[in-house]
């Protein structure tokens, strides 16, 4: 049971931190999605030119004591799935198909995707390059803040976790605002 609580807390922490980060960086108010405007259906069709073009990243976790497998999907709400932490089989059943490829050990850095885009020549104009360089800077700045926290953030009673979470999220917003005037819509 303790593992499940930690998994759920980790999933919630990841989702709420992502929302706080993006709200500061893109100067927009992100709220919880309670009912999607439309339901997206996944289709794996080789004849469809749009099939496989976008990547939807999830985390697959295993609980050591019970052997249970879970999926953390922080961006599923945009596809009509509001649960962040879901057992693997329920995740597959709800979405109608298995993932193209199950997650592998994550060995990337905070900026691996952006570094690769810059190195491969995908960036074609100065505006894109400026945005990517700003995002690299923002991610490194964010990583500095997050490195100061450990497993203790997930421990304690529900009330203690809630207090720590709110303090952490406030710190994320404050830290990201300190990135500089050229970040997130000209804000400090």
Count the neighbouring beta carbons within 10 Å of the beta carbon of residue 76: 22
| Residue bearing the bigger pLDDT, 135 or 97 | 135
Are residues 168 and 124 located together in one domain of the fold?
A: no
What are the C-alpha distances in Å from 135 to residues 43, 66, 132? 31, 39, 5
Backbone angles phi, psi at 62, to 5 degrees: -115, 135
Are residues 160 and 170 located together in one domain of the fold?
A: yes
The end-to-end CA distance of the chain, in Å, is 42
Residue-level pLDDT at 161: 92
- Above 80 in pLDDT, residue 10? yes
Indicate the number of domains in the chain. Answer: 2
Residue-level pLDDT at 140: 92
Are residues 131 and 156 located together in one domain of the fold?
A: no
Residue-level pLDDT at 58: 78
Measured between alpha carbons, how far is 158 from 167 in angstroms, rounded to an integer?
A: 14
Which two tokens mark 63? 């609980």
What are the C-alpha distances in Å from 50 to residues 44, 76, 92? 10, 19, 21
Residues 26-43 as b/e (b if ≥16 CB within 10 A, e otherwise) read eeeeeeeeeeeeeeeeee
Are residues 31 and 112 located together in one domain of the fold?
A: no
Are residues 71 and 3 located together in one domain of the fold?
A: yes
pLDDT digits (tens, 9 = 90+) for 102-144: 666 667 788 888 888 888 887 888 888 888 898 899 999 998 8
Q: Which domain holds residue 126?
A: 108-148
* pTM passes above 0.85: no
pLDDT digits (tens, 9 = 90+) for 15-32: 888 888 877 777 655 555
- Above 50 in pLDDT, residue 186? no
Task: Say whether 34 sits in a helix, a strand or coil.
Answer: coil
- Above 70 in pLDDT, residue 4? yes
Count the neighbouring beta carbons within 10 Å of the beta carbon of residue 142: 20
For residue 165, is it within any domain? Answer: yes
Query: Of the ranges 11-15, 29-33, 36-40, which is most confident?
Result: 11-15
Residue-level pLDDT at 188: 38
Query: Of the ranges 4-13, 44-53, 90-99, 133-142, which is most confident?
Result: 133-142
Backbone angles phi, psi at 41, to 5 degrees: -110, 135
Q: What is the mean pLDDT of residues 82-102?
A: 78
Are residues 115 and 166 located together in one domain of the fold?
A: no
Q: What is the mean pLDDT of residues 87-110?
A: 75
Q: What is the mean pLDDT of residues 64-75?
A: 80
- Above 80 in pLDDT, residue 157? yes
Are residues 158 and 144 located together in one domain of the fold?
A: no
């Amino acid at each position: 049971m303790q593992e499940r609580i930690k998994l759920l807390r980790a999933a919630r922490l990841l989702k709420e931190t992502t929302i706080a980060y993006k709200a500061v960086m893109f100067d927009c108010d992100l709220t919880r999605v309670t009912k999607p405007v439309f339901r997206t259906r996944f289709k794996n069709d080789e004849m469809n030119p749009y099939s496989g073009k976008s990547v939807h990243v999830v985390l697959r976790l295993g609980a050591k004591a019970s052997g249970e497998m879970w999926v953390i999907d922080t961006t599923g709400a945009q596809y009509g799935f509001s649960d962040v932490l879901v057992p693997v089989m329920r995740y597959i059943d709800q979405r109608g198909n298995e993932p193209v490829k199950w997650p592998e050990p994550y060995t990337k850095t905070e900026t691996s995707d952006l570094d690769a885009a810059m190195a491969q020549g995908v960036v074609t104009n100065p505006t894109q390059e400026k945005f990517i360089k700003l995002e690299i800077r923002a991610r490194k700045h964010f990583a500095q803040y997050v490195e100061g926290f450990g497993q203790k953030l997930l421990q304690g009673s529900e009330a203690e976790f809630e207090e720590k979470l709110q303090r952490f999220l406030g710190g994320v917003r404050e830290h990201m605002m300190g990135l500089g005037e050229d970040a997130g819509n000209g804000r400090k």
